[in-house]
Structures are given as structure tokens and as C-alpha cells.
Amino acid sequence: MESIRKIIRKKELLNMLGLSDPTVWRMENAGKFPKRLRLGGNSCGWLLSEIDDWIASRAAARAGSNES
């Protein structure tokens, strides 16, 4: 099966997560969020698959913390 990699831009990322731009930047710099890809010039984006994995890991961590 062929894997399709989609890049999402900042506006779509922020809408998807409900987080602010500075929050994403701080988490990215702290190593707690996937790194952006430089697309050229002033353009950047994120791999949708990495964002989906990050969301899944957050949901799994939440589910794991409720088991105590």
C-alpha cells in the first residue's frame, strides 16, 4: 500500500488543535511536539501523519492516567 504524506500549514494545524501559535512553538522547541518542515522561503508545514500520531499519544496518555 502506498503511503500518502500530506503537509498541513499553520492555519489548518491551529484549527485542528485549538492551540495558539506561541503554544505550538513552545511545545515544539521543548521537544514535546513534532518539528515543522521548511518548505522554502517563509513557508513551513507539518506532516499530518506526525500530528495524528501526536494526538493519539496524548489520548493514550490521558486514558492511561485514568486507570489509577
Residue 13 near residue 21, CB atoms below 8 Å = no
Average pLDDT over residues 31-41: 96
For residue 52, pLDDT beyond 60: yes
Residue 15 near residue 23, CB atoms below 8 Å = no
pLDDT-based confidence at residue 64 (cuts at 50, 70, 90): confident
Average pLDDT over residues 3-28: 94
